[in-house]
Chain A
C-alpha cells in the first residue's frame, strides 16, 4: 500500500505491506533508535511521537501513519542531547537500551505538562521500563533538568 507521511520533518511516500508494524518500518528506514523490547506493549522502548503524542510503534500498523507526522529520536537530536547530559550526569543511562524510548517519553511529557511534579513524572513515565535501575536517578535527572530550564527561562 502507498502511504504519505512525515518522518522527522521530511515528507515521504512509501510502499508498505498491510501487516507491517511501524517499529519494523521505521528501523527499515534507518531509525535504529526505535528498539524492540518486550513484544507485549509494556516496556516503552519503541516509543515514537505521532502527531506530537507518544505511542508504541510495536503496536501500530505502518499503514496507519498515512497523513501523520512521525518523530523518532533521530529527529530530536538537540533536545535529546541536552536532556541526555542530565541523564548521564546522574548515572542513569546504565546499559542504555531503554534510553531512546525513555527520552522520547520525557520529551513528550515536557511538551504536554507544565512543570510536572515528582508524582506526575512517575505516573507519566510508568510505561517505560528500565531493568538496570530503580528509576531514582532517572527521576532526579528530570527534576534537575526542569530546574535548569526554569533557571534559563528566568535569566
Chain B
C-alpha cells in the first residue's frame, strides 16, 4: 500500500528537480505500477501542469513529452507512419485502453522495467532521453545507468530512415510479455533488441557482423543471414526463467522472434 504525505503539482522542472533530491520523494507518471508497491512517500511530484503530455514532430525528430500516455503513442498517426505501425503494436497489448490512458511513456522509460514493451520498442530506434540535469543522452546509454534523482523531461526519436518490426510473445492477452523483440534498420545499422528476458531490454551486439549490409543482400542471402543471426542471438542473449516461462523457452523465443521480425524488415513477410 502507498502512504503519501504530500502532493505537489510543480510549476517548473527546476522545482521538480529540487523536490526530487529527497530520497523519499517520487515523480509521478501514470502511477499504475507505483501504486502496486508498499512505500512511504514524503512528496509526490506531479509534472502534469508543465505541458509535457504530447508529441511534437519536426523535420529532424519526434519530441515526446514524458507525460504522454501510452494510448497517445498508440493512436499517433505520424509516429505510427514513421514506424510502420510498430509503436502501436508495442503498446496495444498492454492491459486495456483505460490502463494505457493512465500509463505514461516517461514512467515506462524512466523505470527501465524488465517487462517493458515500451523500452524495447524505443531501443529499436535512434532514441535519446532529455534529462533535466544530465542533458540529452542516447537511450542505449541511459538504459544501463544507475537510477538517480534526475528528471526525465522528453524522449526524442531522431527521424533516421527506419524500417522496424516489433513482436512480443504473451501467455495470454493483456498479460506481461514472456519475451519482446524489436528489430530495425536505422539507416544502414541493423539493430536487434530483446526484452522481458525477463531482465531489462538489451541491444544484441552483432560482433560477427552477420547482418552487415543486410539491405544490399539478395533474398536468398538475407534468408541465410537471418537464420544465422537468430542462432547467434539465441546463443548470446542471457535469459532466465520465472512464472511466465522457463529460461529454455525464452531462449527458443529469442531465436523465433528474431528470425520472424528480420523477415518482416527484410521484406519477406507481411508485418504482424
A residues touching B (Cβ–Cβ < 8 Å)? 1, 18-19, 21, 40-42, 44, 47, 50, 53-56, 58-61, 63-64, 66, 105, 108-109, 123-128
Contact = CB atoms under 8 A, between A and B. Distances in A.
A60 B102 contact: yes
Chain A binding surface SS class: mixed
B96 A125 contact: yes
Interface stretch (B3-11, B148-156, B160-168, B198-206): B3-11
Contacts of B4: 18-19, 61
Contact of A44 (B5, B9, B46, B96): B96
Interface residues of B, number: 27
A47 B92 CA distance: 18
Contacts of A53: 71, 101
Nearest to B48: A64
Nearest to A16: B7
A56 B173 contact: no
Contacts of A59: 30-32, 35, 99, 102
Between A44, A58, A64, the greatest number of chain B beta carbons within 10 A of the residue's beta carbon is seen for A64
The 6 A-B pairs at the shortest CB distance, nearest first, are namely A127-B96, A19-B4, A18-B7, A54-B98, A59-B32, A41-B32
A109 B35 CA distance: 26
B97 A56 contact: no
B16 to A, nearest CB: 15
A146 B4 CA distance: 44
B7 A128 contact: no
Given A18-B44, A56-B32, A42 B95 contact: yes
B174 interface: yes
B2 A56 contact: no
A18 B5 contact: yes
A44 B173 CA distance: 15
Contact of B101 (A21, A55, A63, A109): A55
Interface in B189-243: none
Given A18-B5, A41-B35, A47-B98, 10 more contacts: A19-B3, A41-B36, A41-B99, A54-B101, A61-B31, A61-B44, A63-B9, A63-B46, A126-B95, A126-B96
